[in-house]
Amino acid sequence: MNIFDCPQRDRLFGSMKMGWYNVCPIDETTGMLLTEQASPYALYHCQQVSPQTIREIKQASEVVGCVLMQAWSVIRNLDEEALLYYGFPEESIRLVKYDALAPFCMRLDWCWNEQTGVKKVVETNSQTPSFWFECTVGNHRVAEHFGLRSPDVNAHDTLKFTLNQHIKRAAVFLDKPFEECEVVFTTLNNAEDLGTMQWLSSHVHRSTIMPLEFLRIQDGKCLFDQRTGKSIDILFMWYPLEWAIHDTDENGERLWPALEKLILERKVVIVNFGSAFALQPKSVFALIYDLGLDFFSGKDAETIFEYFPKTSLNKNDIGDSYFAKPILGREGEGGFAVNSGRITAKSTSNNPWYTEQAYVYQELLEFPKVEIVGQSMTAVWGAWLYNNGYDKFIAGGLGMRVSEGEITDNIAYWCPVGC
C-alpha cells in the first residue's frame, strides 16, 4: 500500500473534509494553487503508540504550561529595553504589555525520545492554526479507520468547552453582553489555515468565518467585514502579529497603528493575539534560563530542569553542539544544527525574512526515529494546551509529524497515531 498516494487515502481524508491532506504551492503572481505540484502531507498510515506515552506527554505538557504562564507574567512586566533584547519587535511591545486577556492556547513541540530518555520541549507555537484539526479530530478518525483506539477521546470536548469559555471571557473584557457580540474567525485564504478556522468556528454558536483580506478598519472606530459591513467585536485571528505590524493597504499605508488603537481602546478584542505573541518568540526559553531556577517555585524549577533544553541568545553559552533558529522562526525556516562545531543539518526553507533575524541557540537534541513502511523518519510530537478559564493550561489533543530529514519543516508529514 502506497501511504503517500492511493485511492484509499483520497477517500479517507476526503471523508474527513480535510482539504489540505495534500499541500499545493501558490503561484506568487496569480495567487492560484499549483495543483500539478501537489505533495503529500497526511500519510495513509496509523502509528501505534502506548496509552502510557500519551498520558506522559500530556502530563509533561501541563507542567510546562505552568512555567510558561509564569513567564507570561514576567514578560508583561519587562521594560522596553529588555523586550527588545529578547527580540520582540518594537511595534509589538505596547500590545504585549497591555493585553491582559491571558493566552487561550498553544502547541508545544516535543523531542520525546523514549529510547534515549531525552524528553524536552523545544518550542511553543501560540500563534498558528497548524496541526490543530489533526491532533483533535484527525487522529481519532484515522485510528478508527485502521482498527485502533483514539489516542485522546476527550480532545474534542476539551477544545469546545475551553474555546467557548474564552470567547465569553473576551466579551467580559470588552464589557459587552456576549449575546450582542459579533464573533468572527479569520485567517489567510489557503486550504489549511482557512479549513482549520472553518472547523474551529463551528464550535462557537453565532460565529462567522471570513478570509483575512476582507477585514477592514472604518475611520479608526471599528473593525468590520467588508462583504457585509458588519462591525466585529471579538476576533479570533490566526495571523502572526509579527506579520501584521508590517502590513499595508492598497495605498501603501501601514495598517498596524489603526488596529493597535482599536485594541488598546477595547473597541475590539482579538483572542490569543497580544498575550499569545508574548510567548511566541523562541527567545522565551532563553529568558527562562536567564531568570534562573531560583526565580521559580520548586515545582516549576523541577519542570525546567527536567523538560526545558538549555537555551541562550549567545551560542557560546551552549558549546560547540547546538540547534540554531530565528527568534521569530516558523516551520523550521532558517534552522540549522551544529555538532562539534560543524553544520550537520539545515532546513530546506531559508527565506531571508527568517535568516536575517537574530538567532536563539538550544542544546542539540537527538530526536526519535520511527519506522514507517521500511523508511526511518524523524519524529516530533505536538501537544495542545488550553486555558481552563482560570489561567491554567490543560492538555488537549496531540499528534506526530515526521520528516525524511533531520529538521521538521513545512514539508514534514502528518503521521496519524492510535493506541
Q: pLDDT exceeding 90 applies to what percent of the chain?
A: 87
Per the CB < 8 A criterion, the answer to whether 220 and 260 are in contact is no
Per-residue pLDDT at 149 = 98
Instruction: State the DSSP code for 33.
Output: B
Beta partners for residue 125, in sequence order? 107
Amino acid, single-letter form, for residue 361: Y
pLDDT at 7 over 60: yes
DSSP 102-116: ---EEEEEEEEETTT
Question: Cα(281)–Cα(130) distance, rounded to whole angstroms?
Answer: 17
pLDDT digits (tens, 9 = 90+) for 48-107: 999 999 999 999 999 999 999 999 999 999 999 999 999 999 999 999 999 999 999 999
Residue 204 confidence (pLDDT) above 80: yes
Cell of 169: 471571557
**CB-CB contact of 412 with 401 (8 Å):** yes
List, for residues 343-362, the tens digit of each pLDDT value: 999 998 889 999 999 999 99
**Which residues sit opposite 343 in a β-bridge?**
338
Cα 107 to chain centroid, rounded: 5
pLDDT band for position 29 (50/70/90)?
A: low
- Cα dihedral: 262, 263, 268, 270 (round 10): 140
Q: How confident is the model at residue 129 (pLDDT cuts 50, 70, 90)?
A: confident
Confidence at 418, pLDDT banded by 50, 70, 90:
very high
pLDDT on residue 189 = 86
Q: What is the pLDDT of residues 210-231, one digit of tens each?
A: 999 999 998 888 999 999 999 9
User: What is the end-to-end Cα distance of the chain in Å, rounded?
Assistant: 21
Query: Letter for the amino acid at 255?
Result: L
> How far, in Å, CA of 83 to CA of 75, rounded?
8
pLDDT score at 250: 78
What's the pTM value of the predicted model, to 2 decimals? 0.95
Compute the distance between CA of residue 329 and CA of residue 347 in angstroms, rounded to an integer. Answer: 11
Strand partners, 400: 381, 415
Where is pLDDT greater, at 65 or 409?
65
The Cα 194–Cα 154 span in angstroms is 24
Q: Give the mean model confidence (pLDDT) for residues 357-381.
A: 96
The pLDDT tens digits of the residues spanning 263-292 come to: 999 999 999 999 999 999 999 999 999 999
244 C-beta neighbours (distance < 10 Å), count: 21
* Average per-residue pLDDT for the chain: 94
Higher-confidence position of 32 and 207: 207
pLDDT tens per residue, range 136-188: 999 999 999 999 999 999 999 999 999 999 999 999 999 999 999 999 999 98
- pLDDT at residue 230, as a whole number: 94
Instruction: Estimate to the nearest angstrom the gap between the alpha carbon of 58 and the chain centroid.
Output: 16
Average pLDDT, integer, range 302-325: 98
- Of 153 and 409, the structure prediction assigns the larger pLDDT to 153
Question: What pLDDT shows up at residue 42?
Answer: 97
Q: Which three three-digit cell numbers place residue 13?
A: 481524508
Element of type H or E holding 65: helix 51-76
Average pLDDT over residues 361-387: 96
Cell 500563534 sits on residue? 127
* Residue 317's pLDDT band (cuts 50, 70, 90): very high
The pLDDT of 121-137, averaged and rounded, is 93
Residue 35 scores a pLDDT above 90? no
pLDDT of 345: 94
Task: For residue 26, name the pLDDT band (cuts at 50, 70, 90).
Answer: low
Tell me how many helices (H) and strands (E) the chain has: 14, 22
Q: What are phi and psi of 417, to 5 degrees?
A: -125, 155
Band (pLDDT 50/70/90 cuts) for residue 25 is: low
